[in-house]
Structure 1
Amino acid sequence: MGAVARTLPPMLLGLLLAFTPGAQGVNPGLVARITDKGLEYAAKEGLLVLQRELHEIALPDFTGDFRVKHVGRGHYEFSRLDIRSCELRGPALKPLPGQGLSLTVADSFIRVQGRWKVRKSFLKLQGSFDLDIKGLAISANLLLGHESSGRPTVTASGCSSHIGDVEVDISGKLGWLLDLFHNQIESLFRRVLESKICEMVQKSVASDLQPYLQTLPVTAKIDSFVGVDYSLMAAPLATTQALDVMLKGEIFNLNHRSPVAISAPLLSLPEDGNRMVHFAVSDYVLNTGGLVYHQAGYLNFSMTDDMIPPDFIVHLTTKSFRVFVPWIARLYPNMNLELQGAVVLAPLVHLSPGNLSLAPQMEIEAFVLQPGNARELVFRLGVTTNISATVTFNTSKITGCLNPGKVRVELKESRVGTFHVELLEALLNYYILHTLYPKVNDHLARGFPLPLLKRIQLSDLVLQLHKDFLFLGANVQYTRG
């Protein structure tokens, strides 16, 4: 099937989505879900960001006075503290129902190096030290919301960190002196580091994750005159099993947006945790597209004789038509005809398990082209057909292809007497198969884009057709730029 694509940063969050009824009974047109498998991957990616942020923590200098029996009073200073290595382990990103996500990191390790100085009276000594932080645990809640613009938001709340053990290894002359009050030193480092780590988490969420979520496209252009609205209808919803986000999923005219006369159906997504991310695309999305294209006249067509192959059995001339429309050649001898077709109503897509179909109804008017560019209506036809479609998706778009259905023609009105329409059916079937279908399929092959954040690669794609919606599944890989 292709491969769906790109976007999702450290700590992911941003990727989407899933279903849940929208506010005030309005259902989303496009829904998706990050499963436990997706959240697990997001946690691992997020851990890499936290490790990078930890290396950038600016630790303060520590100074103070000490008093040791038989030695007396003195002054110490720890400076040039630098985190040399860190290993964060056991990341977990779990849904926090009604709020967002819970981020935890367990049993991690950090090593800090620096310099120490001791002054006592006229004596000044210095050396280096290593500080090993073991059993580090971090916990924070990521609260999810959405802006009026329709973009997602995230803030960190309730952060806490705990250090299981702190070990200070002091080198240099009089290192033994500092060993005498190492418990005081370790306690001080523990308090400062626990505070700094939570500051780092807050900063990472605000400066990395939140801007990344802003890369979600609220609208995406499909072609020169239509786009798709991917604004969030509500804050992302955390359930016990997944993170769900609801998007409007409405196709609209870029130059003139008007209210849509149809509503999105209520969807029931299958329980499927085989992929990291699932998308459900309601038939509402496809049908709003049909409405816009219909209103724009994109589905109308015109057919003239120069579009018919020279060796075809019927041509758009009164002479050719006289075989089955005898009066037309008598009333309009040696004149060309033009057929103008229009879809009566916007064609609605019907989705059912394993099947996508539509049954457009067209009306075709036949005109005689008289001298001086005058045109005269001679008859009117009703045309129906049943069309099936094949849907695929790739790294960034959903695409489609119409499969031809037989055209059925009915005479609605004639100003040149009654006649049979069998030969006209053959003509229209030829035109629709060789001209109209290729034109529409070229457009469908361009597809419409999926709502994806930056730098996301999707793989292991699956696509299923369910009642009222397409169900897409994929695994995710975050690509570092």
Structure 2
Amino acid sequence: MKYLTSIYASSSPYRLISSLCGKGEKMFNAWYSFLLCWLSLRIEANPGLKVRITEKGLDYGRKIGMELLKQAVLKETFPSWSGQENFSVVTVSYVISRLRINSVDFPETSASFIPGTGISLSVAHASATISADWRMNTWLLNDHGGITVSISGLFITIVFKVSRDSAGRLTTLLDDCQLSINSVKVELNGGSSWIYSFLSGYLEKPIHSKLDQNLCQNIKYKIQMMDAHIRQQKVLTQIDAFAQIDYSLVSSPAVFKSHINLDLKGTVYPVGNHTDPPFVPAPFALPNQDDSMVYLGVSSYFLKSASLAYYRAGAFSITISEELATTLNLNIGLFKDFVPEIALSYIISCPVLLKLMATSPPAVSLNADKCILQITGCVEVFAVLPNSTTQYIFAGNLTASTRANLTISKQKLIISLLLKRLQFSLLHSSLRSSERMSLVENFLSYALWNTVIPVINDKLGKGFPLNLAHTILTGPVIKMNQDHLVISTDVQYKHEEKRDEDFHSHSF
């Protein structure tokens, strides 16, 4: 009798409960990991960008986390294990196999913001049932059967603190953990039933004690592991070959009763050049609303730093190719009627090639209900000769005033330009001056209107990513204000099998 008690107290029940402790951790971890994805939102940056998660968003994260937890727990598999114990003249060998979670229930869960600290998660009346097979061998007895551990009335409240580390990454630590369990029932079956009925009652108290002692400590350890994993993440996100976004926190998250605010740097840099722009973001505030799950504030600073970054990276040098030009029948022949000198210089009608270069970063201004983009540059016109070489014809200055339409598509902020006014002035030409050159300028303006702006819009159409990790925006609304815009949106969790694999491998 003594050696049977020792076997189950030191091995199988404890291992089963350790697994259950792991499930309790997973209950927290699934919700916690989902929330942290939100708190490390990959839309970019200083109070150049602001992120607010409301109670509505927090509650949605809780619901998704609990559902993901149930699915993960019921799919979880565990390896068999074996051991050997010596008791006086008796050696007992045992094997525990086919450990599985039969059921788990979290009927009451809640999450709330703790002002000045972080987030609280509470689970009440949780229960779980775990079963396994056992087999033991001695010179006296060879036997096998099953074991069932039923836990009910699990109450746990966890508070974790959120802050910022020196690199601007989100960091968390366990601030408080309170736990109580109403009932632990152990049932051993198979073999000599009178022995196992006795042992079942004997083992319930130590198993209960092990849960009380270890569950909060295990949760703290898991939080430390996940915090270390989060700190390894880069604070720069690359948009494309030209630019990167710094999304580091500039201060610790500000936690209030109804929401949590994150101030992000929101600076766009050319790839490989992290020199700050010669201007700073102006302060702005998010609206005092809570109808949406998430509010994203984008200042004009963010857009201006993007404009400067792409300018420094040379992204605003555009060549209208021969193929694109010929779609508008843009060739030397079209100029001959306006400028006789062209007819004398080019006997054969040649395609025309346009080169557009910004001479300064496009100026961005945000006002109520509109975004204005002012582009200043120069344009050069070349003839494409039959031998594929080019010959310079003339050049001019170009100033375009455009209205920028902002939309959200496929999780990206898309900017498209609508040309409102265009001014062109001739700089110099290889041709003799002509009064008819104004007609050329008018025609060129038309060509720029129909070729350059579409090319720019095609580049802008790639968009700025709004990476709310593994979620999609639902019903986003953009409201433009003086010097900033606000995107209010709900989100929907996007299930991905690969994400599930990563979650198990990194979190548990």
Q: Does 1:47 align with 2:63?
A: no
Is 1:17–1:279's contact at 8 Å kept on the other side of the alignment? no
Q: How does 1:379-390 map to 2 (within 5 A)?
A: 382-390=397-405
Letter of the aligned partner of 1:295 in structure 2? R
The amino acid across from 1:143 in the alignment is: K
Q: Which amino acid aligns with 2:217?
A: E
- 1:222/1:315 CA distance change after superposition, 3 Å: farther
1:431 maps to a residue whose letter is A
* 1:401 and 2:416 matched: yes
Contact 2:318 2:356 survives alignment (8 Å): yes
Aligned to 1:10: 31
Q: Which of these residues, 301, 311, 314, is aligned with residue 294 of structure 1?
A: 311
Question: How far did residue 96 of structure 1 move?
Answer: 2.0
| C-alpha spacing 1:209/1:56, structure 2 compared with 1 (3 Å) | farther
* 1:113–1:300 Cα change, 3 Å: closer
Partner of 1:440: 456
Q: Check 1:447–1:9 CA distance in 2 against 1; reply closer, same or farther (3 A cut).
A: farther
Which of 288, 298, 320 is the equivalent residue of 1:271?
A: 288
- Pick which of 170-179 and 148-157 moved more: 170-179
Q: Give 5+ residue unaligned stretches, structure 1.
A: 1-7, 20-25, 59-78, 117-121, 323-328
8 Å CA contact 1:314–1:427 kept in 2: the answer is no
How far apart are the structure 2 equivalents of 1:178 and 1:333? 109
Structure 2 Cα separation of the partners of residues 387 and 157 of structure 1: 52
For the pair 1:220 / 2:237, whether they are aligned, the reply is yes
Q: Do structure 1's residue 152 and structure 2's residue 173 form an aligned pair?
A: no
Partner Cα separation in structure 1 for residue 321 and residue 477 of structure 2 = 43
The alpha carbon displacement at 1:82 in A equals 7.8
Q: Figure out how many residues of one structure are paired with residues of the other and give that number.
A: 431
User: How far apart, CA to CA, are the structure 2 residues paired with 1:284 and 1:382?
Assistant: 27
Residue 334 of structure 1 is matched in structure 2 by 345
User: Are the counterparts in 2 of residues 34 and 243 from structure 1 also a CA contact under 8 Å?
Assistant: yes
- TM-score normalised according to structure 2 size: 0.68
Q: What is the correspondence of 1:24-423 to structure 2 with a 5 Å cutoff?
A: 27-48=46-67, 84-111=102-129, 132-166=150-184, 172-173=193-194, 187-207=205-225, 211=229, 213=230, 218-300=235-317, 307=325, 320-321=338-339, 334=345, 342-363=357-378, 382-409=397-424, 422-423=438-439
How far does the alpha carbon of each residue in 1:410-460 deviate from its partner, in whole angstroms, 9 at most, with x for none? Answer: 56899977969753552232122222111111111111222333x333323
**1:431 matched residue in structure 2:** 447
Correspondence for 1:326 = none
How far does residue 398 in structure 1 lie from its aligned partner after superposition?
1.4
Taking only aligned residues, the RMSD between alpha carbons, in angstroms, comes to: 4.8
Q: Does the residue aligned with 2:461 lie in a helix, a strand or coil?
A: helix
Q: State whether residues 236 and 244 of structure 1, in contact with CA within 8 Å, keep that contact through their aligned partners in structure 2.
A: yes
Task: Work out whether residues 314 and 423 of structure 1, in 8 Å CA contact, stay in contact via their aligned partners in 2.
Answer: no
Range that drifts further, 165-174 or 357-366:
165-174
User: Contact conserved, 1:18 with 1:33, CA < 8 A, in 2?
Assistant: no
Residues 347-386 of structure 1 deviation map (CA, whole Å, 9 limit, x = unaligned) = 22222232111222335578999xx999798xx7554332
Please give the secondary structure, in 2, of the residue aligned with 1:269: coil
Q: Deviations over 1:262-282 (max 9, x none)?
A: 222212111332332222222
Contact 2:382 2:391 in 1 (8 A): no
The answer for the alignment partner of 2:504 in structure 1 is none
Asked whether the equivalents of residues 410 and 421 of structure 1 are also in contact (C-alpha less than 8 Å), the reply is no
Larger relative contact order (CA 8 Å, sep ≥ 6): 1
Shift of residue 194, structure 1, vs aligned partner: 2.2
**CA distance in structure 2 between the aligned counterparts of 1:305 and 1:170, rounded to whole angstroms:** 83
Please give the alpha-carbon distance, in whole angstroms, between the structure 2 residues aligned to 1:82 and 1:305: 67
2 CA distance for matches of 1:161 and 1:343?
A: 63
- One-letter amino acid matched to 1:94: S
Deviations 1:227-279 (A, max 9, x none): 22222223333222112222222221113332211222212111332332222
Q: Which amino acid aligns with 1:389?
A: A
Amino acid at match of 1:362: G
Task: Tell whether 2:466 aligns with 1:450.
Answer: yes
Question: Which one has the bigger helix percentage?
Answer: 2
Q: Partner letter of residue 442 of structure 2?
A: A
In the alignment, which of 436, 439, 461 is matched to residue 476 of structure 2? 461
Give the secondary structure class of the aligned counterpart of 2:363.
coil
Q: 1:254 to 1:126 in 2, by over 3 A?
A: closer
Provide the rounded CA distance (Å) in 1 between the counterparts of 2:232 and 2:62.
Answer: 19
Counterpart secondary structure, 1:275:
coil
> Structure 1 vs Structure 2: percent identity of aligned residues?
24
Q: For structure 1, which segment, 91-100 or 292-301, has the greater mean C-alpha deviation from structure 2 after superposition?
A: 292-301
Change (3 A) 1:115 1:397: closer
Q: Which runs of 5+ in 2 are unaligned?
A: 1-28, 80-94, 135-139, 498-508
Amino acid at match of 2:35: L
Q: What amino acid is aligned across from residue 15 of structure 1 in structure 2?
A: C
CA distance in 1 between partners of 2:392 and 2:187 (Å): 98
CA distance in 1, matches of 2:77, 2:330: 77
